[in-house]
Amino acid sequence: MTHLAELNIGKFKYPTDDPRMAGFMNNLDLVNAVAERSLGFVWRLKDETNNATNFRIGDDMALNLSVWESAKSLENFVFNTIHEKFYRRKELWFEAAEERHFVLWNVPVGHRPSVDEAWDKLQDYQRNGPTERAFGWAEVMNAVRMRSVRCSVGS
């Protein structure tokens, strides 16, 4: 049996203490709490502040790294909770992605991926497109729903 790991990266438009980031930063605890209470949630990367905004990957990219029981449980959290409100407004806080910035991959139950592992998976997906090693929403999500929520390259 496997679980599903996800990595989503983005470059902040402003420092996290900039007033223009308040709408995002002031709601992190709420959104993270909803994630952790969501059916199918397993684990997420966080530090002593209970979020991951201090972690960086690649070219100073912020990251979200988590594990879910299934693609359906992750999809439900992303698109059917308060998370969607922030997802739809991400252009306020993050620069537009120029390449794939989100990747999924299967992990053994109990495995907690490292930042290095996640970065390797994203680079694999960027180089090779979807494979059994690394893939995106299109490979796991309902195609009609996918077209309605896709917002940028590599989502």
Task: Show the domains of the chain with their CATH numbers.
Answer: 3-149 (3.30.70.100)
Collect the ranges in the chain with pLDDT lower than 70. Answer: 142-155
Per-residue pLDDT at 98: 87
Residues 145 and 65: their CA atoms lie apart, in Å, by 23
Can you read off the two tokens belonging to residue 35?
Answer: 């994630």
Phi, psi at residue 124, to the nearest 5°?
-60, -50
The model scores a pTM over 0.85: yes
What are the beta bridge partners of residue 103? 7
What's the longest Cα–Cα distance across the chain? Answer: 44
Residues 110 and 145: their CA atoms lie apart, in Å, by 30
Handedness of CA 133, 141, 3, 8 (dihedral sign): positive
Residues 10 and 60: their CA atoms lie apart, in Å, by 9
Q: Where are the alpha helices (DSSP H) in 63-134?
A: 71-80, 83-87, 115-128
Per-residue pLDDT at 155: 46
Residues 74 and 35: their CA atoms lie apart, in Å, by 9
Residue 36's alpha-carbon distances to 27, 42, 51, 96, 114, in angstroms, are: 14, 8, 12, 27, 19
